[in-house]
Amino acid sequence: MAGSAAASSPPYCGRFAPSPTGPMHFGSLLAALASYLDARSHGGRWLVRMEDLDRPRERPGAADDILTALEQHGLHWDGPVIRQSTRDAAYAAALARLAEQDLLFYCTCTRSQLRGLPVYPGTCRQRRKAPATSHAIRIRVPDQHVSFEDRLQGPQSEQLARDCGDFIVRRRDGLFAYQLAVVVDDAWQQVTHVVRGADLMDSTARQRFLADSLRLAPVSFAHIPVIAGPDGRKLSKRWQAQPLQPGTASASLFSALSALGQAPPADAWGAPVNELLDWAHHHWRWSAVPRERQSSLICGLG
């Protein structure tokens, strides 16, 4: 009897899942560092998955730049880097499983037809046969709450029908949607804990619903604050946040630890990245991570 409960819970596995649309910046370093430290302080594995699903938005060389930046900041991952561009068969299989449950429909609505509407109005909900014209595939969401516990932000609940509506799982251009791919891959890679920016909080109920529909094990979520740029908006690759510089890795890590509330000792300033990470790994405290969704910290690095 003893130990059977513990033996049944899968070992901790975390991941960082960047989209190669630009170089690493301070905001993505925070997400990578928080998920890395949480994984390592649990004695867990930490994976990197390249979310190169959206070919039109991909920037040549960005994937390699991100991996180089991770290494320069001492964030070494376990196992091979999985690329979503190689995983179409798995996403297609997941769509087939959803179709078997009669959850999918074909949508021919154009962007201009949907402009200004708060959620998808259900126009094509009954279309179960693929039309000859170009179309997206949407999933029918239930008229009920999806609830989950965020390890940092506390209990969350979304009414998918009201807050988001039937959402796209395969786009009109034939690409699989991020929401589907992330759920399929987290399960396939046996990820147990997701730590990421709070800008993805609004996607979480959709992902939980997809995981439930596909009968996949639920993952634990924690959403860390998103750093605002000088204009008060989220730092993002699309908004030209300054890329991290190789020569300032130690300073960037020190600042990232401070932004995560970890208060590194003053004499750690300028220490080699592996020493800083070693300190951080042994002193990692969830309770010190700020709980707001957008941090007022203004990022002036770079």
Size of the site for ligand GLU (CB under 6 A): 7
Query: CA of 301: how far to CAs of 18, 28, 41, 231, 238, in Å?
Result: 20, 13, 27, 14, 17
* Neighbour count for residue 105 (Cβ, 10 Å): 22
Supply the minimum distance, in Å, between the C-beta of residue 196 and ligand GLU.
4
Supply the minimum distance, in Å, between the C-beta of residue 42 and ligand GLU.
18
By CB under 6 A, tell whether 235 contacts ligand GLU. Answer: no
3's tokens: 């130990």
Query: Which of positions 81-120 make contact with Zn ion (CB under 5 A)?
Result: 107, 109
| From 13, 17, 98, 222, residue interacting with ligand GLU (rule: CB under 6 A) | 17
| From 114, 119, 175, 200, residue interacting with ligand GLU (rule: CB under 6 A) | 200
What is the pattern of x (binds ligand GLU, CB under 6 A) and - over residues 32-71?
Answer: -------------------x--------------------
Stretch that binds ligand GLU, among 13-21, 64-72, 92-100, 109-117 (CB under 6 A): 13-21
Report what 104 binds from Zn ion, ligand GLU, none; CB cut-off 5-8 Å by kind: none
Residues in touch with ligand GLU (CB under 6 A): 17-19, 51, 182, 196, 200
Residues in touch with Zn ion (CB under 5 A): 107, 109, 123-124
